[in-house]
Structure 1
C-alpha cells in the first residue's frame, strides 16, 4: 500500500539480492512482518469505522461491490495487477514487495472477520483515527525494514524515475485516478478519506526516520 510521499536519505537504493545481504536480517524481517500485519489491521479498522477510506481502498471497496470476493482478496489481486506495471518500468520486486502484496490482504480479512462494525458514531471515529495512526506506524515499520517498496509505492517511484516528473505530481495523479474510479464503482468515500490524506504524510514523515534500519553494508 502507499504510505509516504518522500523517502528519507537513510533509505538505501538496493536491488533484491542486496536487500537480503545488507545486514541486520533478523531484526529487519521481524520489523517487516510486524509492519505488514499492523497495516492490514489498520485497514480493517478503517473499513469497520465506515467513515471513508484511503484512495486505493476506495477502489478496493468499489470492486467488492461488483465481485463476490472478500476485501482482502481484492487487495491481493490488485497488488499483482499493479506489479504488472513494474515490467515496463524495469523494476524488480523485493521480498517486502511480494510480502506486502500477500500479507496485508490476508490480515485485513482476518481483522474484518474478528472485529465487528460499531454502531456508535464516536466509536466509529475512534476506529477511523486509530486506523490512520496505526497505518502510519505500520508503513514506517515495513518501509524502514528496507526490503523494497510495496507494489503501489513502487509504481509511483518507478514512474517518477522514468518520467522525470515530481513525486507529488505522480502520486497525486495516481491517487486521484484510483479514487475517482473507486467512487464511480461505489467505494466508501467520506470524512476518513480526507483525514487520511491530510494526516498520513506528516505522520509517516515523522515516524519513518525513527524506524528505518541503518544498513552498514549499504553505506560502504
Structure 2
C-alpha cells in the first residue's frame, strides 16, 4: 500500500528510495576513490571492507523487497542506514580506531541509536499491534537482542578480516570491548527514551 505522504516515480518506486540509491552510488564511488588517494594518510579503509559494506547494502535491498511483498514498507530505514554508513566511512578514513578513539566511540553510539530505531519500527510494524502495545518491555528486549547480535557479528567480521587480510579494523587496547559497550549504550538509550515516551503517552502526559 502506497504512503500518501510520499512521492513516487512512474514505476511506483518511492522517491526516498531512489534518492538514497543515488546517494549510495556516490558513497561507494567516493570510498573507492579514497582507497587510491593519498589525501587520507591515516585511513583504515580496506578494499575488503568496502566489499563487505556493498554486500550489506545489497542484503538491505533484498530485505526491503521481500518485506514490501508482505505489505511492510521499510523505506524509512534507507536514509538512516545511509547515515550509519557515512559515520562508518568518516571513522575509517580518519583512522578513528587509533588516532581519534572518541570519534570511533561516537560513531558506534550514534549508529546503534539509529539501528535500534530501525529495528524498533520494524518490529512494531511486523508484530500485531496488541503484542507490542501490551508488552513494550518484551519488544524492547527483542530489539536489544537483535541490535546486540548485529554488533557482535560486526566485531567478528572485523576480527576475521584483520586475521585473513590484515585490514587493521580493530584498534588497540580495549577497542572491541568499548565498541560493544557503546553499541549497547546507544541501543539502550533509544529504548529507554522510547519506553519513557510510551509511558507518558499512556498516562496522557504528552
Q: Normalising to structure 1: TM-score of the pair?
A: 0.42
Larger RCO, structures 1/2 (Cα 8 Å, 6+ apart): 1
TM-score of the superposition, structure 2-length normalised?
Answer: 0.44
CA radius of gyration, larger in: 2
